[in-house]
Amino acid sequence: MKQYIFFLLITLLLFSFSNMGITQTKENIERTQEVTLNGKPITLVGPKLKVGDFAPDFQVVTQASLIDEEMKMMNLNDFYGKIKVISVTPSLDTPVCDLQIHSFNEEASTLPDDVVVINISMDLPFAIHRFCATSGIDKVIALSDYRYASFGTHWGVLIKELRLLTRALFIVDKKNVIRYIEIVPDTTQAPDYERALNALKQLIHIE
């Protein structure tokens, strides 16, 4: 009997140690073989979202012109009741990201008032403000995920090796249901603008 209890305790201890510190949540799931950077595989952190999922919440930071300027936190519900086009870029100071936000800024001026276009990157709020001011970005709401990587981990687009966001597009309806997803296979490449805009037009017509 004592021997049985001893082996039972050992088994329980080994099980406890094997699980200690490695409990996996949706936010720390690591996904490989989905995205590359210049052809080299990279690791994405977070869940793989699907069309039809409820959009996860996030906390991101607005752009700021001065270091001592208050940086407002924003979350998904700040845009509730609107169709949300979420453009995700690694860094605005790169040619493909520059083209991406400019393309959506141009399109945003033609969209109805119940559609909001958002760009999220890991760029610092000050860098985003400078970029938008000098590049004439006035229709897209450019936000930063630098503080908590909340968007990146909750939406499954955080690049583990770089702590940047992989290139992606999401379209979310007025009730925060995801209606369109594109995770660009190689993050140095541009997204499929035409396909995304067609999906957006269909959603606008439905709603």
Please confirm, yes or no, whether 97 is among the known catalytic residues: yes
Instruction: Give the position of tokens 């952190």.
Output: 45
Do residues 47 and 26 lie in contact, with contact meaning Cβ atoms separated by under 8 Å? yes
Rounded CA-CA distance 67/17 in Å is 45
The strand pairing partners of 70, in sequence order, are none
Q: Which two tokens stand for residue 200?
A: 């957006």
Give the DSSP per-residue string, 56-68.
PP-EEEE--SSTT
Q: Which of 42, 88, 92, 97 is catalytic?
A: 97
Rounded CA-CA distance 94/14 in Å is 49
Rounded CA-CA distance 141/1 in Å is 68
Q: Which two tokens stand for residue 63?
A: 């752009």
Give the active site residues. Answer: 97
